Chain A
């Protein structure tokens, strides 16, 4: 599967499961996926400055009945912990975070590794159901996490590594 095909398949599977409102903070690994989001006329997509801001905007969209997805790099989880607890978990807001996994094997930049190593444990520590994906054929499973967030009654994380994006 080419990188472009993965991005199309991922968005198609998220949409097929009801996702209709996306925000993103950029990441090198997410560049192609963000372009795919920008070009899709059926969804609402916005670039935001920071993950917390994105969580706030997604909360507003959820209160209006939309099904939001936050697209972000794993480093952003660090700035998001408090709001994930006191907004996402406290109000049990069902939304999916699609998180690129910098600092995992394939990573050329050493400064990314500490957060890349910590991210899964951080999310598990605050009781966010977190699933790791390496296989680009897993887009269906990732899409199914959209309704699973409603079942789980709270935020859910999908962490997609270099192999998923075909980037090493």
Chain B
């Protein structure tokens, strides 16, 4: 299972949650599988999907899922301690861990050589932090959606991705339709 098939497996679970999606390739895959005005495609600023989702979850009642990558989380490990401290019941950090920098030619990340993001998240203070094989991630996410967070799910998958095309939305279109969707949900 690669990230694309993993995202296919979790997409049917999504309904009114708000999703922050990490970087270009994963966002293109999510867009192709399921586009929604509850999706914010974060196309640059590698590492900040987790923090954006945290900030959003502090301010709204709906569940927020940050879809992140192993290389990205490794760039912003400090925010795991902030997620623990904030203790937002409505926040899920869903880490697609394919052990590689997929957007730059699949160079291995440190998780491919032994680093456990679930263990780091647990040590940061996030009690519900688990690593699961990609095939079991949808069942785990389904469970986490029904229980108070914060949750960290590390889904282990193979590197690689199908050929995709850029998302045909401008940055401002992505921003504005998401903000309007949040506003409607909060009204």
Which A residues are closer than 8 A to B by beta carbons? 21, 44, 46, 48-50, 52-61, 63-66, 82-83, 85-87, 90-93
Enumerate chain B residues within 8 angstroms of A65, measured Cβ to Cβ. 59, 179, 182-183, 186
Question: How many residues belonging to B are interface residues under a CB distance threshold of 8 Å?
Answer: 36
Q: Which residues from B are CB-within-8-Å of A59? A: 48, 51-52, 55
Contact present for B44 and A64 (CB under 8 Å): no
Instruction: Pick 24 A–B contacts, CB within 8 A, sort by A.
Output: A21-B59, A48-B79, A55-B48, A56-B49, A56-B52, A56-B54, A56-B55, A57-B58, A59-B52, A60-B54, A60-B55, A60-B57, A63-B40, A63-B178, A64-B60, A64-B182, A65-B186, A82-B45, A87-B42, A90-B171, A91-B171, A91-B172, A92-B171, A92-B175
Shortest Cβ distance from residue B113 to the other chain A in the assembled complex, whole angstroms: 25
Q: How far is the CB of A118 from chain B (nearest CB, A)?
A: 22
* Least distance between A65 CB and chain B CB atoms (Å): 6
Which B69-111 residues have C-beta < 8 A from chain A? 76, 78-79, 81-82, 86
* Given known A-B contacts A52-B47, A59-B48, A66 and B81 have beta carbons under 8 A apart: no
Q: Could you tell me the distance in whole angstroms from the C-beta of B56 to the nearest C-beta in chain A?
A: 4
Known: A53-B79, A63-B56. 18 other contacts (CB 8 A): A49-B82, A53-B51, A56-B47, A56-B51, A57-B58, A59-B48, A59-B55, A60-B57, A61-B56, A61-B59, A63-B52, A64-B56, A64-B58, A64-B60, A65-B179, A65-B182, A87-B44, A92-B172
Pick the 8 closest A-B CB pairs, nearest first. A60-B55, A86-B44, A56-B51, A49-B78, A64-B59, A60-B56, A57-B55, A56-B48
- Report A-chain residues with C-beta under 8 Å of the C-beta of B171: 90-92
Minimal Cβ-Cβ distance residue in B for A64: B59
Q: What's the least CB distance linking B102 to chain A, in Å?
A: 18
Chain B residues closer than 8 Å to A92, beta-carbon distance: 171-172, 175
Asked if residues A90 and B43 are in contact (CB atoms below 8 Å), the reply is yes
B147: min CB distance to chain A, Å? 22
Tell me which of A49, A63, A86, A90 contacts B79 (CB under 8 A).
Answer: A49
B63 at the binding interface (Cβ < 8 Å) = no
**Residue ID in chain A nearest B57 by CB atoms:** A60
Does A58 lie within 8 Å of B76, measured CB to CB?
A: no
